[in-house]
Amino acid sequence: MRTHSLLQGSPEWLAYRSTHFNASDTPAMLGVSPYKTRTELLHELHTGLSAEIDAATQRRFDLGHAAEAAARPLAESEIGEDLYPVVGSLEIDGLPLSASFDGLTMAEDIVWEHKLMNVNLAESLADGIIPDIYHPQLEQQLMVSGAKKALFMATSADKTAMECVWYTSRPELRAAILQGWTQFAIDLENYVPQAAEVKAVAAPQFGLPAVSIQVNGSIALIDNLQAFGTALTAYVEKINLKPETDQDFADLETTVKTLKNAEDALDAAESGALAQTESIDAMRRTVAMYRDTARTSRLMVDKLVKIEKEQRKMVIVRDAVNALDEHTKALNARIGDTIMPQITGDFAGAVKGLKSIDSMRDKVNTELARCKIEANAIADKITANLKAINDQPAFEFLFFDKRSLALKEPEFVEMAVKNRISDHQAKEVARIAAETARIAEQERLKAQATERARADAEIAAATAKAQSEAKAQADADAKRAIDEVIAKARELDYMAKIDTSRMMHNASGQPDKVPVLIDVAPVFIDKAESKDSPLSPPTLRLGQICERLGFNLTADFMRQLGFEPAATEKAAKLYHENDFPRMCAALVRHIQSVLQGGAL
């Protein structure tokens, strides 16, 4: 805070105040002061001219200064430190803020503010409540000085009463004050003084002549109704039916009263005449006509006044609505997007119950200023939020709801930006890790497939080799089996019958043995044991045949050779013993056919 050696109330102090936004003017700036309107403060700071202080006001000031001086020791006792009056200023956001302190401690950590006691203030402070109209002044004093708290005290002029309550800072009010002075500075720069308007007072008007009706003894009327009617008609014709200023409205309101008086005068004159006579029809019709003229004109003017005032009120409200719309559009242009929400001002409520055009303008302008301040605060919030989002261009895709997010509180948006980016980065790390793992798994599976293919190829090669070797072995085994079959066949008993020296001939000269020739050696089957000879009982088991041959045979294979089992004993298949030579011969033929690539 910068301090100034100025005596409160001096010309230098007044000149200083005209260039600063003062704490005592803060209630008026916010439109809550009962002593000065916002429009009056604008005019005062623009022109440098303040209202003249009348004798009564000066006496009140003098009483306040005297009470303040007497209360200072009481305040110092309450605080426990000496207090010094001082003028201080501080520039915040380009705003030249100022405060004139009734008292400030040497450490500038406690403010003292004194007011002259009144009934309402005494009751409120007795309840421990500082009236709201004093909060803006106290808050700006804390803002300028940097003090932590303020002692608000009120004492009576006769020094018999004293009340005090401590005030601590309200951050939301501090923000509203800064926003309010910012808008006030804009309005002050664009302020155009209007012609001074004196409170409208009805201009003196030439009254209508008094109505006189007399009745003489011969029931002759003596009246001035014609003169009264002429004056009334002329008066009505001069009525201003298009009022614009408060003066016009005041004149018309007086006109209504004048016409009402004319009605009443006509009624009184008529009643007086009727009291003198009971039947003067012409006079009554004349009186009725003029009375109707006065009444009709009065009602018309009265209605006109109400309509015109209502229209003027509507114009004032409409202009304020349009001004707020234009202000919102300008804020959207500053932001660079149409994000601003609709700000609604209670302009109709501001003019409710007001009769003066000037008071309507002041209340509406104050409400307009409040709406602009609110809109400015929202625009500043949107700008800060958009900056927080736009400062992360690489993550723009995370803020698809940027327009709605910009309307949130900056702390929420800042946290949302951090959380969304950190969540995305965590998911991205997880995605990359998963992708890396997937690629590694693919490479592993590919290598595994390659290894499997190589192994399969080796197995296929080994299998092919084994199959080739097995085939060669099978061929060798088949040849060896044939050789063994032939050898075993030769070893059979009936092979001894091949000896030709012992061959016998029957009576017809045919040999008893029938030679069966094969490539290896002839095999002879005894006729007695041929197919046409009687079969022996089926006692030859399939297992015995295999034992004789030295290798295994199946019943299905024997069927292929043409030999069905003659009987079955449990699971054993039984054949005829005398079929064995033919079995061997059939087996030899089969083996030869296989060697030659034929079929059975």
H helix runs in 492-579, sequence order: 542-549, 555-561
pLDDT the model gives residue 266: 85
Helix (H) or strand (E) holding 120: helix 119-126
Strand pairing class (149-155; 110-116): parallel
Q: Is 372 helix (H, G, I), strand (E, B) or coil?
A: helix
Helix (H) or strand (E) holding 320: helix 281-335
Listed in order, strand segments (DSSP E) in 326-413 are none
Structure tokens at 569: 């004993």
Q: Is 162 helix (H, G, I), strand (E, B) or coil?
A: strand
Q: What is the phi-psi region of residue 336: left when phi exceeds 0, alpha when psi lies from -120 to 50, beta otherwise?
A: left
Pairwise CA distance, residues 587 & 582, whole Å = 8
Q: What are the phi and psi torsion angles at 384 (to 5°)?
A: -65, -40
pLDDT the model gives residue 522: 42
> Residue 369: what residue type?
A
Structure tokens at 136: 């803006």
Residues 117, 123, 129, 134, Cα dihedral to 10°: -40
Pairwise CA distance, residues 258 & 243, whole Å = 17
Write down all domains in the chain, each with its CATH number in brackets.
Answer: 2-189 (3.90.320.10), 213-337 (no CATH), 493-595 (no CATH)
> Residue 174: what residue type?
R
Pairwise CA distance, residues 301 & 307, whole Å = 10
Q: Are 272 and 213 in contact (CB under 8 A)?
A: yes
> Residue 492: what residue type?
L
Contacts of 550 (CB under 8 A, 6+ apart): 484, 488
pLDDT the model gives residue 270: 77
pLDDT the model gives residue 502: 36
Q: What are the phi and psi torsion angles at 98 (to 5°)?
A: -145, 155
Pairwise CA distance, residues 53 & 295, whole Å = 46
Residue appearing with tokens 């009936």 = 494
Q: What are the phi and psi torsion angles at 90 (to 5°)?
A: -155, 130
Pairwise CA distance, residues 36 & 183, whole Å = 18
Helix (H) or strand (E) holding 347: helix 347-351
Taking alpha carbons only, the member of 592, 586, 590 closest to residue 525 is 586
Residue 406 DSSP label: T
Structure tokens at 261: 């008086």
Q: What's the length of the chain?
A: 600
Q: Is 151 helix (H, G, I), strand (E, B) or coil?
A: strand
Q: What are the phi and psi torsion angles at 204 (to 5°)?
A: -60, 135
Q: Is 224 helix (H, G, I), strand (E, B) or coil?
A: coil
Structure tokens at 485: 């079959």
Taking alpha carbons only, the member of 367, 227, 365 closest to residue 286 is 227
Residue appearing with tokens 């010094």 = 84
pLDDT in tens, the chain (600 residues): 999 888 877 878 888 888 899 999 999 999 999 989 998 899 888 877 666 677 877 788 888 888 899 999 999 999 999 999 999 999 998 999 999 999 999 999 999 999 999 999 999 999 999 999 999 999 999 999 999 999 999 999 887 889 999 999 999 999 999 999 999 999 998 888 765 444 555 566 656 677 666 655 555 566 787 888 888 888 888 888 888 888 888 888 888 888 888 888 888 887 777 666 555 667 667 778 878 888 887 887 777 777 777 777 888 888 888 998 999 999 999 998 888 888 888 888 888 888 788 888 888 999 899 899 989 999 999 999 999 999 989 988 998 888 889 989 999 999 999 999 999 999 999 999 999 999 999 999 999 999 999 988 888 888 888 888 877 876 776 677 667 766 665 555 444 344 333 333 343 444 444 343 334 434 444 433 444 456 678 888 999 999 888 888 899 999 998 999 999 988 889 999 888 888 888 888 888 888 776 544
Taking alpha carbons only, the member of 188, 181, 179, 157 closest to residue 99 is 181
pLDDT the model gives residue 490: 58
pLDDT the model gives residue 523: 42
Listed in order, strand segments (DSSP E) in 156-309 are 162-168, 213-215, 221-223
